[in-house]
Amino acid sequence: MRFCPQCGEERLRPTDLSLRDLTAQIIKDAISIDGKLVRSWRILLTRPGQLTAAHISGERRRYITPLALFFIANAAFVSVQALTGTNILSTPLDAHLHGQDWSPLVQSLVGDRLAARDLTLEAYAPVFDRSAQFNAKALIILMALAFAPLPALVFRDRHRPAGAHIVFALHLYAFILVLLSAAVLLAQLDIAFGGLGLRSGVVDKLLSVFNLLVCGGYIYLAVLRIYAASGAWKLAATIVLTSAVALLFVGYRIAIFLITFYMT
C-alpha cells in the first residue's frame, strides 16, 4: 500500500532518502506551495485581471494571497537590484538638489538642515543616500495602496467593495515589480554588450516607454475581467489608470525624499 491506513502518510520507498530524491523534494517545496505559488504566478502574468476576479468571487483556496504575492514580487525586485547594483526607485540627494522640478524646495530644506546641525553636504549626502535606498525598497507597498482609490473612483458605478480595489492594486503592482525586474535585467544585458545600461539616456527612455506600454496593455486587459469595462470606456479608464501609475512613481520619489529627510 502506498499510504499508511492509520495516518494517511505516504510510505517511504528505498530511494526516498537518496540525495537525488531529497534534492527533488527541496526544489518541489521551494517552487510549489501545494501548487498555489506556480498557479498564482502563471495566471497573474498570462491572464491579466483573472486572479483578482477569482479572489473577488471567492475562489481563493487555489491561490496564494494578494499580499503574499506582492511581497514575493518585491523580494525578487530587490534581489535583482542588489545583484545588478541598480537602484531605480531611489534618487540620490544630489539629483534631488539639482535635477528635479522640486529642487528649489529641496535646496531650501537641506540648507536649513545643514545650518541647524552644523553639517556639511559632503557629510550628510552619504547618510541620506543609504537611508533613501533602504526606504525605497522597503516602502514600495505605499504605491499600491495609493493606487487603490483610483480604480474605486473610476469604476464607482460598479459598486465594488473597497477590498476589491486593494486586491487589484496589489496584483497590478506585483506584475509591475516583475516588469521592472525584467527592465533592469535588459539594461544589464546592454551593459554586457558594451553599452551604458540605464546610464544611457536612450536606453533609459526606451525601457521607460516599454514599461509604460506593457503596463497599459496589462491594465486594458485586466479591467475587462475585473470591472466588465468595454469599448471606449475601457480605453479611457486604461489611459487614466496607466497615467496614474506613471505619476505615482514620481510621487513615490518625492515621498521617499521627505520620509528620508525627516528620518536622517
Tell me how far apart the alpha carbons of residues 236 and 205 are, in angstroms, rounded to a whole number. 24
The predicted-structure confidence for 191-222, as pLDDT tens digits, reads as follows 888 888 888 888 889 999 999 999 999 999 99
Number of domains the chain contains? 2
- 66 neighbors 171 (Cβ within 8 angstroms): yes
29 pLDDT above the threshold of 60: no
Structural domain containing residue 169: 44-263
On whether residue 122 sits in a domain, the answer given is: yes
Same domain, 16 and 134: no
The grid coordinates of residue 7 equal 495516518
pTM of the model: 0.84
Look at residue 91 in the predicted model and tell me its pLDDT.
Answer: 87
The predicted-structure confidence for 66-105, as pLDDT tens digits, reads as follows 999 999 999 999 999 989 888 888 889 999 999 888 899 9
Look at residue 10 in the predicted model and tell me its pLDDT.
Answer: 53
Look at residue 23 in the predicted model and tell me its pLDDT.
Answer: 65
* Burial of residue 158, with CB atoms counted within 10 A of its CB: 0-12 exposed, 13-18 middle, 19 or more buried: middle
Q: Which residue has the higher pLDDT, 4 or 136?
A: 136
Look at residue 17 in the predicted model and tell me its pLDDT.
Answer: 53
On whether residue 249 sits in a domain, the answer given is: yes
- The greatest distance separating any two alpha carbons of the chain, rounded to the nearest whole angstrom, comes to 79
